[in-house]
Amino acid sequence: MKILVADDHNLVREGLKPFLEELDPNVETVEAASFDEAFLVAQNTAGLDLILMDLKMPGMNGFDGLVKMCETYTSVPIVILSGHFNRHDVLEAVERGAAGYVPKTISGSAMVNALRLVLSGEKYIPSAAFQETPEDNDDSPIGRSAASTDMTDGPLSRLSEREKEILGHLIEGNTNKEIARKLGLQEITVKVHLRNIYRKMDAANRAQAVRIALQNGWQG
């Protein structure tokens, strides 16, 4: 197994090696300290199985580095490493092609489990991304907005603009896949939003969320 570890801190790169060896005792790691170096190393390394990239290392330019790497190495899972956890960053990373987002603060065993999940073909999103905090309510709507739902109290008032937008598509009978396609999102991102919608509305499922919305004067 070959893994590229790209991080501008040597201590992080060295610290990851013992955990990567748990994935495969014969693992071969190649390293880089910037995006440009990582891209060059990837080009010169045949048979990469996994790429780990620090979100804030030099040359990443926000998510541009992730997008470039994902577009170039479509068959290699790319996981973002970050010392800074932000729900919006997690969702955007996945939307832009990352196979996972691993906070550097998680335990070594949790990191190994996360990487095993990614290597099995799944996506890894830390559980904290499913817990919305007050500062997450500044989601700006994209495309058709459900902001016309002018509810000042009740369950609908607890939803962010993005969540209202997704709820509107839910009421129209769209599946998760259809909602993702219409809004240009990953299906897993839609699922994260729906989970928060259900929690805020005290709904157990889609049908109950739709019923509660209509009972509370939904104006899509």
Query: Residue 66: pLDDT above 60?
Result: yes
Q: Which residues pair with 2 in a beta bridge?
A: 28
Average pLDDT over residues 70-82: 93
CA distances in angstroms from 119 to 1, 3, 78, 122, 129, listed in the order given:
11, 11, 10, 7, 21
Let me know how long the chain is.
220
Higher pLDDT, 163 or 138: 163
Q: Closest by alpha carbon to 99, among 144, 51, 132?
A: 51
The whole-chain average pLDDT of the chain stands at 83
> Where along the chain do its domains lie?
2-130, 139-215
Indicate the pTM of the whole model.
0.63
Q: What CATH number was assigned to the domain covering residues 2-130?
A: 3.40.50.2300
Higher pLDDT, 145 or 171: 171
What architecture (CATH level 2) is domain 139-215?
A: Orthogonal Bundle (1.10)
Banded model confidence at residue 142, pLDDT cuts 50, 70, 90: very low
